[in-house]
A and B are shown apart, each in its own frame.
Chain A
């Protein structure tokens, strides 16, 4: 079963607007990661936030993590047409048996129009 559920499933915005997508998960985590997937390609790592962090920035990306609510959000500011892709959250487990694996959410499809 999927650990993460993402919301919304699809998002359409205009270039220059901000895009926010959310991820909820079920069990305790060591870290949460966000990946981007362009059509027909593999996933590309964007950003990692550890369980003891609340916010992290990387360029136009801002990620927040609320472990009490078991949720994270990814904000892309000043979006560009090139940001059109699917975005996935993935959680790294905190237990010995789960620490070496990631569990992926179902993804948010972002469409940025000119």
Chain B
């Protein structure tokens, strides 16, 4: 059974800090891993997609890494801002656009 776990469940940091969100998955035979952001009551916004052959992807202040052998991915956010406050979800794709999601990390960046 494919399971995706995200740690921590919640995180509160002061503005300007660099932070790391963790995602682990039980089955290493993945196609892709995608990080999303979700604001309260809203849909999901795609942040980064890492294909199985890649080790990392970067977009602005965000960097996501993938280690298939250990079943882990991290999302690094540099110089956090209050606008980064949201829930961050990790999703692992095993086949045919079928994604397994973690429960998310709720991030609060304090001004």
**Do the two chains bind?**
no
Which residues of A are at the interface with B, using a C-beta cutoff of 8 A? Answer: none
Which residues of B are at the interface with A, using a C-beta cutoff of 8 A? Answer: none
